[in-house]
Amino acid sequence: MPRPRKVVVTQRFFDERTQAYLRAHNCDVEIASLPVGKADGDLDHDTLVQMLTGAGGWIVGHARVTRPLLEALPDLQIISRRGVGYERVDLEAARDLGRVVAIAAGGNDASVADHVIGLMLAVGRRFRETQQRMLDGDWSILMGSDLCEKTVGVVGLGRIGKSVVKRLLAFDCRVLVHTARPDNAYAAATGVEYVSLADLLVRSDYVTLHAPLTPQTRFMIDEAAIATMKPGAFLINTARGGLVEDAHLLEALKTGRLGGAGLDVYVSESDPAYKPISQALLALPNVVGTPHSGASSREGLDRTNMVAARAVVAVLDGDDPAPECVVADGRPGR
């Protein structure tokens, strides 16, 4: 039997079933030991090189995959993200150096969509404020807002955006969608209405973001955008920190311009200077925050683990991963 291929996983919660799948396909699985309270995005270049030397496959979370890192790892054939974002990966370098970059497309759609609805209900019905008052001995009733029959603006209509729409329709919501690629057949089947971002912000009771982070979308929700939103509207961001200018959001929430926010991502994840802003947001009674955990249900992680692992095995075997998972392929002839 050929020598097992080394596959390094720099993520927690990597289930035994997926490990067994990799081992059954002649892979030697190494789960990195991460410092308490740290993720692979906190690991420096030298630490990553030490962990990954000799690996053919890397199942990665939020580590920065740079050209110098790839150059230091000549055996590494595939970088497989347990997730769907890839803005921390230098795709040009990966192509230049003959590597494959894959994402776990479809693995966490349901988990993130459930999380979005949970945040909408939590901020609309003021769960956090109510429980804190009860803990303080005040059992008086705070009036919240229904999600049922509200107008909800969905910015971005990829797999997760469509999963959110599916759930919103069960709440009898009117759904407005802003997307670069309108699908008329989808609109006819679901009843969603395609609109401009400006129109969506003006009309929506809830706005939920599902766009990628690009130079064009960075701070798409800033002071000017917030000023056009309905007074008392709710903003949900489970997509990427940087879509929202968190400093401007903080001011809008403190002044009551917006009714509340449900946040799973923050600018401070990539810019430490924003850490005080994130802390101030989380301290507000009308904010429900989670630590970029929208995809982190047991079921969701199991699914994304397996999708990421299948991509690794395909590349190490000389085959092609599922097309929807490939974001860069620098192998000759690909």
Domain ranges of the chain: 5-107+297-329, 109-289
In whole angstroms, give the CA distance from residue 181 to residue 97: 32
**pLDDT tens string 274-312:** 999 999 999 999 999 999 999 999 999 999 999 999 999
Q: Is 25 a catalytic residue?
A: no
Q: Do 5-107+297-329 and 109-289 have matching folds?
A: yes
Contact 7, 27 (CB under 8 A): yes
Question: Of the residues 210, 292, 303, 310, which is catalytic?
Answer: 292
Topology (CATH level 3) of domain 109-289:
Rossmann fold (3.40.50)
Could you read off the pLDDT of 61-84 as tens digits, one per residue?
A: 989 999 999 999 999 999 999 988
Q: 36 or 80: which carries more pLDDT confidence? A: 80
pLDDT digits (tens, 9 = 90+) for 219-252: 999 999 999 999 999 999 999 999 999 999 999 9
292 classed as catalytic: yes
CATH class assigned to 5-107+297-329: alpha beta
Helix (H) / strand (E) element for 240: namely: none
The pLDDT, as a whole number, for residue 164 is 98
The catalytic residue among 129, 193, 223, 269 is: 269
Write down the catalytic residue from 5, 240, 303, 310.
240
Residue in 8, 57, 15 with CA at minimum distance from that of residue 33 = 8
112: closest CA among 304, 323, 324? 304
